[in-house]
Chains A and B, each alone.
Chain A
Amino acid sequence: MTTIAPAQVTAPAQAAATEPISSGPKGRRGLVMTLVLAVIALFWISPLALLVITAVRPLSDFIGNGPLSWPDQLTWSNFKDAWGIGNFATTYKNSAILAAIKVPLGVLVSAMLGFALAKLRMKFRRTVMFSVFLGLTIPIYITIVPVFIMMRQAGATDSIFGLIGPYLAFGIPFEVLVLQSFFRQLPDEIIEAARVDGAGDWRVFFTIILPLSVPALVTVAILDAVATWNEFLFALILLNSDAHKTIPVGLLNFQGQFANNNTGLAAGILIAVVPILIAYTLLQRWIVGGLTAGSLKG
């Protein structure tokens, strides 16, 4: 999993709340700073910008004018070629199914554990907590040999379903860390009141804790979806046939095949990243808020 960014979520959306602190004349300095930052940002995003420009021009145009030129001609055919040869219809479907199963399941079991740790009197609570959080430090590759053997014995290699267990396990530490700290902030009085009315732990969990924690659950789900969508190592060792590959493994294959077709390669990379870029742009409020809010209370 590529994203590890434990932080306590209070509520997203409050990231850009307070006013900046710098003093001095507003207009002139602000403008200069904006300009400097804009240039850096342009430079920062230039790899992606170049990718887009290259993907929409014919290969001959790219080779004739060089990678840094403006295209003379525009074409969509690179996308068509890349989509077919890159097998993206299949890898998209596989990645989507995997995320659709793994993410809700992971968030649910993590929320349950987080609830037990935060709001129920549980024996060995700190030991459990420590052991689970320790999972954040464990690199995936220490587990690949035993996981590979396990999956072969279970007949689950070369199937996206074989990835669910390992993905869940490596997602749990982060999800539990964030969720339990969010649950902890919910007032005990609400739970007490429900208990007085006769609600058991399960009813408290499903009718009080979860509905009150929607912001945290959404943030965790989004970050987990990004990590699941991007995971590479388990997918690399467990999936063999093209029919079962996920986007990252498929992209790697594709990269090999298109080594000499720069425009096709650019189109293929774009096909692989555009959905995540769109999702990020739309959901960035949650991602940014989740990564930062409340994590710095000292």
Chain B
Amino acid sequence: MATSVAVAKPKRGGRWSPWLFALPALAVYVAFLVYPALSSLWFSLTNWDGLSATYKFVGLDNYFKLPQDPVVVTAVKNNLIWTVVTIAVPTVIGLLLAIALNGKVHGKPILRLIFYTPAVLPLVSIASIWGWLYNPQYGAINSFLRLIGLDGLAQAWLGQDSTALWAVMVPAIWLRTGFPMLLYLAALQGIPNELYEAATVDGATKWQQFWHVTMPSLRPAHYIVLALSLIDSFKVFDMIYAMTYGGPGTSTQVMGTWMYFNVFQYYQAGYGTAIAVVITLVAIAVGIPYVRSQTREAS
């Protein structure tokens, strides 16, 4: 498509002119993101408590301690469950909603509006809303179960190890379904009708059309949804913090919250940052293909 040369020829302003435009953003980015992230690498090699003026360099000790920390083991497991469930479920629901909305349906704009609404709410308010719905005595969820005669299922959803993490994932799914739905909807609208007509002529059933026309056409959308969901899922903090505070006990701790507790509750800043470094490295490793694809596309 690109008929003209992508990069304008340098005319005026000299070779440093682009850097004047780049400087403010780069300065802020380096000062408040790159530099802090790198200094966390250093803190993770110390025994700093977060308060004292002095601390000792301890090498990789903090990292060796990680596997022996039972909460880290729980947190890793929870992060994994969180990642799989809060990616798979919203993606599938989002795709199904998009397909349904792409058909002959009335009131599309309002339906789309409703399904995306949770995504614009502050995570803390979502946590508040669902904490309130989960309230064992006065919450709507238990009331509903009692109403339909399932009294036995009414329970303290957020207050017991067996259900707490799942109970937090439900609002996360609620919140994260809107984005895949929007992307898939836009992608579906971009599939040329001729593909379906040709498939129909060839005698393909609806089911075959879905797998052989729709799904392959959605590949770019799958990629973006998956990449962004993956990146996002490692950042989980707000929901856990605001809904369960890592509890009951430590059963819903994830790496992000356990890092926070170590730094600000137990005064183990060195150890806490080591936790953050590990999950950040994983997040970067997972995110790099996406970042590269975006950089390539732009060049």
Say whether A265 contacts B132, CB under 8 Å: yes
Interface assignment of B191: CB less than 8 Å from any CB of chain A: yes
Question: Residues of B contacting A130 with CB < 8 Å?
Answer: 291-292, 295
CB distance from A236 to the nearest CB of B (A): 8
**Once the chains are docked, how many angstroms separate the CA of A201 from the CA of B294?**
25
B107 engages A34 (CB within 8 Å): yes
Q: A20 contacts which chain B residues (CB < 8 A)?
A: 102-105, 189
Bound together, the chains give a CA A137 to CA B279 distance in angstroms of 11
Q: Which of the 9-residue segments B5-13, B68-76, B83-91 touches chain A?
A: B5-13
Question: B129 touching A51 by the CB < 8 A rule?
Answer: yes
B173-214 interface with A by 8 A CB criterion: 174, 179, 182-183, 185-191, 193, 196, 200
By secondary structure, the B interface counts as helix
Question: Bound state CA distance, A276 and B116, in angstroms?
Answer: 13
Interface range on chain A (Cβ under 8 Å from partner) = 35 or more
List A68-115 residues whose CB lies under 8 Å from chain B: 68, 109-110, 112-113, 115
In chain B, what residue has the closest Cβ to A42? Answer: B114
Q: From known contacts A21-B188, A34-B106, A139-B234, infer whether A41 and B35 are also in contact, taking CB-CB under 8 Å.
A: no
CB atoms of B103 and A33 under 8 A apart: yes
Q: Establish whether residues B33 and A269, one from each chain, have CB atoms under 8 Å apart when the complex forms.
A: no
**B287 interface hit (Cβ, 8 Å):** yes
Q: Interface-forming stretch among B56-64, B149-157, B159-167, B258-266?
A: B258-266
Q: B19: shortest Cβ distance to chain A, in Å?
A: 7
Chain A residues contacting B144 (CB-CB under 8 Å) are 68
Known contacts being A20-B103, A184-B6, A284-B113, is A251 close to B256, with CB within 8 Å?
A: no
Measured in the bound complex, the distance between the Cα atoms of B18 and A37 in whole Å is: 51
Contacts of B276 in A (CB 8 A): 139, 141-142
Q: CA of A280 to CA of B39 in the docked complex: distance in angstroms?
A: 38
Identify A143's interface contact among B36, B147, B295, CB under 8 A: B36
In angstroms, Cα B294 to Cα A220, docked, is 17
Say yes or no: A120-B291 contact (C-beta < 8 A), given A4-B231, A109-B24: no
Within 8 A of A (CB), among B235-265: 235, 237-238, 241-242, 256, 259-260, 263-264
Could you say which of A251, A272, A287, A293 contacts B120, with CB atoms under 8 Å apart?
Answer: A287
- Contact indicator B128/A44 (Cβ below 8 Å): no
User: Are A269 and B128 in contact, CB atoms less than 8 angstroms apart?
Assistant: yes
- Cα of A4 to Cα of B224 in the assembled complex, Å: 11
B40 an interface residue at 8 Å Cβ cutoff? yes
Chain A positions within 8 Å of B132 at CB level: 51, 262, 265-266, 269
The answer to whether A201 and B21 touch across the interface, beta carbons within 8 angstroms, is yes
Q: How far is the CA of A132 from the CA of B117 in the complex (A)?
A: 29
The 8 A CB mask of B264-289 against A (1 = contact, 0 = none) is 10000100110011011001101110
- The answer to whether B19 touches A36 (Cβ under 8 A) is no
Distance in angstroms between the alpha carbons of A89 and B105 in the assembled complex:
42
B65 within 8 A of A: no
Q: Is A13 an interface residue (CB 8 A)?
A: no
Selected from B97, B112, B117, the residue in CB contact (under 8 A) with A277 is B117
**In the complex, what residue of chain B is closest to A234 when comparing beta carbons?**
B32
Contact of A139 among B117, B129, B235 (CB under 8 A): B235
CB distance from A265 to the nearest CB of B (A): 6
A116 to B37, alpha carbons, bound, how many Å?
A: 25
Is B82 an interface position by the 8 A CB rule? no
The answer to whether A136 and B231 touch across the interface, beta carbons within 8 angstroms, is: yes
* Shortest beta-carbon distance from A219 to chain B in Å: 13
Alpha-carbon distance between A17 and B109 when the two chains are bound, in angstroms: 12
CB pair B103–A122 under 8 Å, yes or no, is no
Q: Smallest Cβ distance from A27 to chain B, in angstroms?
A: 8
Instruction: Check A109–B25 contact: CB distance below 8 A.
Output: yes
Q: Decide if B190 touches A230 in the complex (CB within 8 Å).
A: no
Contact A38 B298 (CB under 8 A): no
List the B side residues contacting A150 at CB < 8 Å: 36
Residues on B close to A: CB < 8 A? 4-13, 15, 17-19, 21-22, 24-26, 28-29, 31-37, 39-40, 43, 50, 97, 100-125, 128-133, 135, 138-140, 143-144, 147, 174, 179, 182-183, 185-191, 193, 196, 200, 219-221, 224, 228, 231-232, 234-235, 237-238, 241-242, 256, 259-260, 263-264, 269, 272-273, 276-277, 279-280, 283-284, 286-288, 290-292, 294-295, 297-299
12 contacting pairs across A/B (C-beta < 8 A): A4-B228, A16-B109, A31-B106, A34-B107, A51-B132, A66-B138, A120-B17, A121-B7, A135-B33, A201-B13, A277-B120, A295-B186
Shortest 5 CB-CB contacts between residues of A and residues of B: A137-B287, A169-B32, A292-B186, A30-B104, A146-B36
